[in-house]
Amino acid sequence: MIEIEHLTKRYGTNVVVDDVSFTVEEGTLTVIVGTSGAGKSTLLRMINRLVEPSAGRVFIDGEDTRAIPEDELRHRIGYVIQGYGLFPHRDVAANIATVPRLLGWERRKIAQRVDELLDLFQLDPAEFAHKFPHELSGGQQQRVGVARALAARPSLLLMDEPFGALDAVIRSKAQDDLLAIQRRLGTTIVLVTHDMNEAFHLGDRIAVMDQARLLQHATPAEMLMHPADDFVERLVGTAERPFRLLSLAKVQDAIEPGEAMGEPVAISDSLHDALSRLMWTGRDALPVADARGVILGKVSVGGILQHGRPLP
Amino acid sequence: MRLASLVRLISLLLLVAFIAMPQAFAFAFEPLVTPGAPAIYNQGSLFSLTLQHLRTVCLATIASTILAVSLGIFVTRPSGGEFLPLSRSLVNIGQTFPPIAVLAIAVPLVGFGEKPTFIALFLYGLLPIFENTLTGLTQVPTQAMEAARGMGMNTWQRLSQVELPLAFPVILAGIRLSVIISLGTATIGSTVAAKGLGEVIIAGLQSNNIAFVLQGGLVVALLAVLIHDGLGLIERAAARKLGRFVDEVS
């Protein structure tokens, strides 16, 4: 758990981060979103003390970060930046091994960990371990960047626009991969982006910043239904709201008893996907199946639409 | 590529053969001398003069490298930034001051022999290494540095594991330039009685023996070409590993 308390950064009279407080629960993904220059990156960099706060404190699992030596603190926190900053003179394996080597792990243990991570990120060790960063595609570099950050099994991962340099197709795949890996490892992640879609796609909680201040820290659904002010409402996108809500809800939430014709939708799909299928096939309802293909009921256009507006 | 390796090999063999058994090449130089004069330098061993020459150049370059690289590192640190203009002008003075003038000043202070030559070469060799160290260190991608800090590398680890390896090909190019300049300049050391290939040239000039001048000049030139080439190979290999290509600096 990370507790951020009254964190403030001033450069002279210029306040970059103004009295920000929020808590990140263990194993969740929090997205800090806002326009450029809102202070998101500075806030993130104060967590691993790349930027020293002017005031306020950060606690990681109850421990004040100021009490931990800087380098030691950073060994314990994964860090991924836009452009990844892979070391051009080191091959993929050596890049991933950076922090374990700094920590003085045994050679065998390092090699084992590198292979494990390459597998986790779907990079064949035989092919990729000894490639140099300039021989990799953007998507592969991104994966190596995240693998390197996770090498010493940090419980916290900080990511600053980690998908910013990827094109749209690879980006959405990379986002899904990150979610899958996060679920699997249970790593706590704080991610900075300016892309609202990314925030809604990834975040268990979203923190909206503007002009150095934290405007709202809430779950995506709360933020859609009760935006804290006009700025958040604009950022969320008024016209997008019903669709974002449908993206957040699962078929499970709108399942009704009864039968329907057609190809079943999966119970774990989002309502957004289910509605899209209904519209495309021109049906009013479709059957719902679980992972094994057993039909559990149906989902209808009317039922789905009810989830696209705030509850009374 | 193969042709280049062949030329390299032939030049090397030629050089080694000549300094080891110069008499075998007498036939080539005989047409240049007046009848009765020696065609091959006969006032000392070419082999030991070559070694002496290389020794002086080597020591001077090592000393310049140590100072110039340390200075380059120092002025690229946040604490040393304000010394950059001062260091630059000092190093520039070293380059603009003619080596022969340095010899003239150094001899009364340290005496005749290798020492004044060493001082002249040392000062003369600083600039290219210093400037290339600066270029190399400031070219390190900021993202790699940010990542290094973010992963908890301390200042020394960042310097030794990220900055210097990345700057290495550029620094090496500076060292190469400095070595080549020194190899040629070292010949004037013989005017102050330093052992070296300059002796052969000066002996030739004094006795009006063109063959001697040519022999001294050729050995220095071949050494320069071969060393330049060899260091260039290492440099390109290092740069290729980084995925970039350095232009030939000559």
Per-residue pLDDT tens digits for B43-54: 888 899 999 999
Q: Which residues of B touch A159 (CB under 8 A)?
A: none
CB A85 within 8 A of CB B143: yes
Residue-wise pLDDT tens digits, B100-125:
888 888 888 888 888 999 999 999 89
Distance from CA of A99 to the nearest CA of B (A): 7
Contact B151 A98 (CB under 8 A): yes
Low-confidence ranges of chain B (pLDDT < 70): 1, 243-250
C-alpha to C-alpha distance for A30 and B247, rounded to whole angstroms:
47
Distance from CA of A133 to the nearest CA of B (A): 8
Report ipTM for this prediction: 0.83
Q: What is the DSSP string of A245-299?
A: HHHHSBHHHH-BSS---SSPEETTSBHHHHHHHHHHHT-SEEEEE-TT--EEEEE
Specify the pLDDT at position A41.
93
Contact A70 B148 (CB under 8 A): no
Beta bridge partners of A32: A192, A207
Residue A15: pLDDT band with limits 50, 70, 90: very high
Specify the pLDDT at position B1.
62
Specify the pLDDT at position A312.
57
Q: Is the pTM of this model over 0.95?
A: no
| Test the A interface: residue of B149, B151, B157, B158 with most A CBs within 10 Å | B151
Q: Does the structure show a pLDDT above 50 at A33?
A: yes
Question: Residue B146 is nearest to which of A85, A98, A149, comparing CB atoms?
Answer: A85
Mean pLDDT of chain A: 91
B26-45 burial: b if 16+ Cβ within 10 Å, else e: eeebeeebeeeeebbbeeee
C-alpha to C-alpha distance for B75 and B86, rounded to whole angstroms:
10
C-alpha to C-alpha distance for B150 and A149, rounded to whole angstroms:
9
Q: Could you give the domains of chain B? A: 47-249 (1.10.3720.10)
Specify the pLDDT at position B248.
38
- Reading the block at residue B142, the tokens are 């900021």
Contact B144 A134 (CB under 8 A): no
Give the N- to C-terminal CA distance of chain B in Å, as an integer. 19
Phi, psi of A64 (to 5 degrees): -70, 125
- Reading the block at residue B128, the tokens are 């290219």
Which residue is associated with the tokens 């001048």?
B213
Beta A205-210 vs A213-218: how paired, if at all?
antiparallel
- Taking each helix axis from N to C end, the angle separating A138-150 and A168-185, rounded to the nearest 10 degrees, works out to 20
Q: Which residues of A touch B162 (CB under 8 A)?
A: 87
Contact B143 A85 (CB under 8 A): yes
